[in-house]
Amino acid sequence: MCGAGPRLEFVPRSYGKLGHKVQRFAAALAIAGLVVGWIADAANAAERTIKLVALGDSLTAGFQLQGKAAFPVQLERALKAKGDAVEVINAGVSGDTSSGGLARLDWSVPKDTDAVILELGANDMLRGIDPKIPREALGEIVRRLKARNIEVLLCGMRAAPNLGPDYVRAFDPIYPELAAANDLVFYPFFLDGVVNDPKLHIGDGLHPNGEGVAKIVAGILPKVEAVLARVRAKPAS
């Protein structure tokens, strides 16, 4: 009805103050419910198992190592020991170049991948491939992963000095420049602390043994946790 005078609310006189208290209490309960919901959502996000793909060559695959000694297995074990809910998938292929990694990217990195550890380029360097080729291939891998909303931890590689200073100057900057241009989590040298220690290599003097892989894992672990933090910080889809 229109024009019927002021709107009246029925609150019994003897319960007026109590009614306001009940309203305030109900509002407080509603806010508390929202807070509990937010906390539960955050807890669920933190507990969700993150899928991390290690995309690389023999250094990732674990050349001549037992499965439990390979980089992805040791890394997953170390992360779980710190309380991280994570699955690390071994997408390493011995002998692979950066171009080879690009060619198999779509089937090596599943649709539900959250983050990728990108470790490629050592075989390009050992074969003396023009540094422009790994630069372009690695850049395209990063572009495609970012287009899929996948976080990337880029692992750097360094050229052997016997390839000459010109090659070193062209090859070594690929990784830091790519990381800076794309805002990537960056580990400057995958073989840091391992490359010049014969006790940490298998017989060929190139590939790390189980102890060498453990040293790599210890060194790279903070960077892996940094990329996991980026995954967790994303809004739930």
Active site residues: 58, 204, 207
Reported as type and span, the H/E element at residue 220 is helix 210-233
Reported as type and span, the H/E element at residue 56 is strand 50-56
Q: Are 89 and 54 in contact (CB under 8 A)?
A: yes
Residue holding tokens 């360094």?
Answer: 158
How far is Cα 116 from Cα 109, in angstroms, rounded to an integer? Answer: 8
Token code pair at residue 84: 């991280």
**CA-derived radius of gyration, the chain:** 27
Q: What angle (nearest 5°) sits at the alpha carbon of residue 88, between those of residues 87 and 92?
A: 155
Q: Which residues contact 78 (CB under 8 A, 6 or more apart)?
A: 217, 218, 221
Token code pair at residue 158: 């360094």
Q: Which residues contact 114 (CB under 8 A, 6 or more apart)?
A: 50, 51, 52, 150, 151, 231
How far is Cα 210 from Cα 69, in angstroms, rounded to an integer? Answer: 5
How far is Cα 24 from Cα 2, in angstroms, rounded to an integer? Answer: 31
Secondary structure (3-state) at 187: strand
